[in-house]
Structure 1
Amino acid sequence: MDTPMSAASTIAGSRTPSAFFTSRAPSINNEDFETVDEPRLRPTSDLENCAGSCPDKKQGADDSIVGWDGPGDPECPRNWTPLKKVLMVLTTSGMILSVSFGSSVFAPAEKVAAAQFGVPLIVMQLTVALWILGFFAGPVFFGPLSEIFGHLVPFWLATAGMAVFQLPIALGENVRTVLICRFFAGVFGSGVMAVVSGMYFELYEPIPRGVALGLSAICINLGATIAPVVGSYLTYDASWRWTAWTTLIITGALSFVGTFTVRETSSRMILRHKASRQRFETRNWALHSESEETRIEFHDIIHRYLTMPIRMFIAEPILIIITLYLTLVYGTLYLSFQAFPIAFQQRGWPVTTSSLPFIAVILGILSAWTACSIFSLTWYKERSLRTKGPAMPEWRLPPMILGGLLLPPSLLWFAWSGNVHWISQVLAMYFTGLNLMLIFISGISYIVDVYQIHANSAMSIHIVVRSLISSPFPLFATIMYDNLGVDWASSVLALLCIIMVPAPILFYRFGRRIRSWSRFSFSTT
């Protein structure tokens, strides 16, 4: 939940890079928080993110309404200490990494588990596909409900659910148990991804937010890239069951750290708790937060919140096209989990060693985050300082444009370098990972900046569509690469990526006009 970008960019721009995790901002009038969506449930001052403002209560306002105690209110998430913010970002991004890790760690174990259970390989390939399919089922509930009940409860519910379902995977004695529990682990894990973007939107203004969102975005794919390397050694040196035990250990360790570092960031819930506390401290039972004046009925929850992601996706061309592009990027990465080992096994490398080139992809992903962070703290910041109006979401897109232009050549490089020295394909994998993440990080940041207080709903439907389309990829990857070969199969992916190249360019040029048609965008100026 957030305020207009203008105030955020003004404050963010006044800071040096060394202070990008700090946050203090001037007050903003509550009229700035208008939305053309259902008016009777529109955000009010305590429903919104304090958006770097933590505004004083309006002159003449009801004294019984509890709001922020001025711009410096320490309870406002934007005013938390830099260390508190950083620790929260690291922990929650780490949790995203564990969800992503769990999705693909089973991939190297598919053949071993299929032989143990006596089933065809394609049955065990469902373990990855069903986890990703679980991402389709979870966000449509976790994301919207976090806008009603705050971010903390859905976050911990999702984390606990994913951890619990690792136990029957590790102990399961039949294929049905493993497959069903892999699906439900994905359902709960997706809740973490759906909620975290909204958390970061509450914590930071646009410039540091780009760095935080970039970290969470690379963790979505970094965990899935590390997992095949770890999974191959776990499977062949220990047991395929250790893929689940390892996921549980990582999630448990992060949960323990999170009990000390993860806090509620929803302005709605913080002010409600503040009002409740002050009622007992002052014995003034009339004190309340502004959100408590609006009664939310069950049909409101269904109509406004649970169906909002679907309504947004149907009505928003920006959300539709960016989601399709990021789905292609996401699917390409998951196809690479099959393609990259196949390419090196054709060179005569053993199964475990053939997964090591994924380290190049990991380095590419980390390089993309570094590049996007530098971009946010230089070009984006300088542009925000120069403008007299709000910072435009389209200013997030130059890295996406660059990645889109360079991704097809990177895929073609990998495709047709199978007969030369192996280092050539490893370098191609590095640039593939780099360009995939330049697109992915910028796309995620753009969605969040465009939809602001509806960021969780937008991200929810984005994850749903991305996962629904991507979930079959692990099933046909082997068939695709066996029939077409590494060269032509990767060339098909390059062609699809070429088709999507114009999308970010058109949004950079015409995005402001497109946003002016939106019912959900809060950045239509």
Structure 2
Amino acid sequence: MSDLESVNSFNSQDSTSTNSSSIDEQQQPQQYIPNTTTTTTTNGAQLKLTRTETVKTLQDLGVTRDAPVPDVNAPQTSARNTIFPEEYTMETTTGLVPVSTLQSLGRTATSITRTRTRQIERRSTSGFSTTSNSKGEEEEEEEEEEEEDTKEVPELDPEIEFVTFVTNDPANPHNWPLWIRWTYTILLSTLVICVAYGSACITGGLGTVQDQFHVGLEAAILSCSLMVIGFSLGPLIWSPVSDLYGRQVAYFFSMGLYVIFNIPCALAPNLGCLLACRFLCGVWSSSGLCLVGGSIADMFPSETRGKAIAFFAFCPYTGPVLGPVVNGFISVSTGRMDLIFWVNMAFAGVMWIISSAIPETYAPVILKRRAAKLRKETGNPKIMTEQEAQGISFNEMMKGCVLRPLKFSVTEPVLFATCFYVCLIYSLLYAFFFAYPVIFSEMYGYKDNFIGLMMLPILIGATFALAFTFWCESKYLALIKTRKPTPEDRLLGAKIGAPFAALGLWMLGATTYNHRMWVAPASSGIPFGFGMVLIYYSLNNYIIDCYVQYASSALATKVFLRSAGGAAFPLFTTQMYHKLGLHWASWLLAFICTAMIALPFGFSYYGQGLRHKLSKYDYSIDAVDD
């Protein structure tokens, strides 16, 4: 018997060893190495026998032949079908799960692909096909998709042992004290505010850019739009870095670069240098937008993460509001463009230090580090995570980060419509930054400092919405206790918030007639801010549940479309208000926003049928539970 065979075949020990293991595990599980014992073979070789999980212990933990869909934060591998997706969320007694034991349970690459085939067959017979193609084209596309999804994956070496968290493991972010998890949630949410603030900081002092470089307003506006465009491209870098090396590494390098590139923004000798550096600032800082939601989800189990994610939904839409509020006063009192960027750099620098100091939360990376330690201490090279065993394919990673999001944007009408609504709300927020200067400057003669203060009602409305999301989350949790959840259950917040967002725009248009009542147009920001956060919070959860099997790709589609809209609207908002007039420009946006109210209500009542008719395959939580 080889050394590795001895290690993998040993699944029991005497009571003394077991008790010792239990004590070690309870006292210092983060340093816990599965209990070993030494034995001597006939040829005198010393063997270390390592205790691992058995078929019975895994069954007691709820492991069955059918592998569940991986968690939203599970890493990508070269193989589409992983045999042990529970590795990153499950705690075991020994911390090691042999592949041979999983195979004894029926977890093999062949069985997983067969399960996938049955799912595809059920979807095909249920009519999940595109309505625009002919029958022959549909069958051809289905065969191609089935061939891709059911492609045989080589069986894993049965001697490999997967690493898991041990019972009550303090290294598992889910086990951190609740107050620590909420502290990190608030700090990471502040990081999102910092990044979003940076995108709009210059909107409080566009006049300083015009005076510094002797350019028109349209050229100055590009300093805002280009950073927002950078938000859509940055995730192509930071998402793979996070998957490979962890959140902490991604935050350290990305926010560090963001801090550095604020220096040439402040000292830019010409407009070209400013615009190039602002674009790069968007690319570097985008980690704060694309990774923080994952970091928060790392710390909370799926059934309790809703309230924490609500904070994340609040921040991308309130951070930009602080930009004109703060920098309007800097612009008026000093007239210095560089000071705006020095303040932004200081804020970013503080958040760089804080985000880099937060411990690693990404379970796959935590377990990879543990596996490396165990390989060194036990001498067993076949202790690893499934991500390491399956390999990390660059092509699969790029497919998930780039190709699949682009494909979803043109082949998934439900996703496109939902992302369009998110894009519209985000774009309208940036439109406010350029509509308010026209309204309050031309009607009331306000300078940038008081124009910035007019943004505060948006922040007030968003704060009300944050509190209201807790009620929405409690209603959802009560609902799923009585029946099986559906993605449409997530739309409650959007149904409540959609009319408020439209109401804010109607109010803005109606109150710009009377220049003596400045409080009236300013107060329109309260219902808009309230509806804006509720819509984003609700639709973000809806996208995850509709595309749970490819949630990261679906959310990447949302980020790309949202950033594109946020970058485009500032380029024409000022001209639109001048050409159409103050009230009709607001009313045009109000008409569009009112028409979009039908989306959450329509999806709530007809969403499941529409997903089945308009989508080629069902990627939702419904299909997962079938």
TM-score (normalised: structure 2): 0.73
For 2:215 and 2:446, the matched residues in 1 are separated by 26
Call closer, same or farther: CA 1:460–1:243 in 2, change over 3 Å: farther
How many angstroms does 1:179 deviate by?
Answer: 0.8
**Distance of 2:360 and 2:622 partners within structure 1:** 25
Q: Measured at CA, do residues 136 and 211 of structure 1 come closer, stay the same or move farther in structure 2, by a change above 3 Å?
A: same
- Structure 2 counterpart of 1:29, from 33, 38, 63: 63
Say whether residues 1:175 and 2:271 are aligned partners. Answer: yes
Q: Which amino acid aligns with 1:246?
A: V
Distance in 2, Cα, partners of 1:309 & 1:375 = 29
Would the aligned equivalents of 1:407 and 1:436 in 2 still touch at CA under 8 Å? Answer: yes
Choose which of 373, 377, 383 in structure 2 pairs with 1:281: 377
How many angstroms apart in 2 are the aligned matches of 1:411 and 1:254? Answer: 34
The residue that corresponds to 2:161 in the other structure is 65
Within 5 Å, give how 1:235-274 maps onto structure 2: 235-238=331-334, 239-261=336-358, 263-274=359-370
Change in Cα spacing, 1:485 to 1:200, as seen in structure 2 (3 Å) is same
Deviation digits for residues 334-362 of structure 1 (CA, Å, limit 9, x no counterpart): 01111223322212333321221211111
Q: 1:22-421 to 2 correspondence within 5 Å?
A: 27-29=61-63, 31-34=66-69, 40-45=79-84, 49-50=88-89, 53-54=90-91, 57=97, 60-61=101-102, 64-70=160-166, 72-143=168-239, 146-238=242-334, 239-261=336-358, 263-345=359-441, 346-376=443-473, 378-387=474-483, 389=484, 391-418=485-512, 419=514, 421=517
Q: Is 1:440 paired with 2:544?
A: no
- Alignment check: 8 A CA contact 2:400 2:552 kept: no
Matched letter for residue 252 of structure 1: G
2:409 & 2:272 partners in 1: Cα distance?
34
Contact 1:413 1:425 in 2 (8 A): yes
**Count of residue pairs the alignment pairs up:** 493
SS of residue matched to 1:471: helix
RMSD value, Cα: 2.6
Of 460, 474, 479, the residue aligned with 2:575 is 479
Contact 1:197–1:459 (8 Å) recurs in 2: no
Q: Which moved more, 1:364-373 or 1:150-159?
A: 150-159
Letter of the 2:259 partner, please give it.
A
Contact 1:143 1:456 in 2 (8 A): no
- Of 351-360 and 173-182, deviating more is 351-360
Query: Is the deviation greater in 290-299 or in 515-524?
Result: 515-524
- Quick check: 1:495 aligned with 2:591? yes
Could you tell me which residue of structure 1 aligns to residue 139 of structure 2? Answer: none
SS of the equivalent of 1:355 reads helix
The percentage of counterpart residues that share the same residue type is 25
For residues 366 and 160 of structure 1, do their structure 2 counterparts lie closer, same or farther at Cα, with a shift above 3 Å needed? same
Name the aligned partner's letter for residue 339 of structure 2: W
Give yes or no for contact 1:140–1:309 (8 Å, CA) kept in 2. no
Counterpart of 1:404, as a letter, is: A
Give yes or no for contact 1:515–1:521 (8 Å, CA) kept in 2: no
How has the CA–CA distance of structure 1 residues 451 and 75 changed in structure 2, closer, same or farther, with 3 Å as cutoff?
farther
Note closer, same or farther for the CA distance 1:48–1:349 as it changes in structure 2 (3 Å cut): farther
Aligned 8 A contact 2:222 2:571 in 1: yes
Which structure has the greater CA radius of gyration?
2
The answer (yes or no) to whether the contact 2:506–2:586 under 8 Å persists in 1 is: yes
Whole-angstrom distance in 1 between the partners of 2:618 and 2:292: 23
Alignment of 1:446-461 (within 5 A): 446-452=542-548, 454-461=550-557
Single out whichever of 341-350 and 514-523 deviates more from structure 2.
Answer: 514-523
Higher relative contact order (Cα pairs below 8 Å, separated by 6+ residues)? 1
Contact 1:47–1:268 (8 Å) recurs in 2: no
Q: Helix, strand or coil for the counterpart of 1:60?
A: helix
Residues 1:510 and 1:186: Cα distance change in structure 2 (over 3 Å): same
1:182-239 CA deviation, whole Å, 9 max, x = no partner? 0110112223211222222332234532222221122111110011011111122232
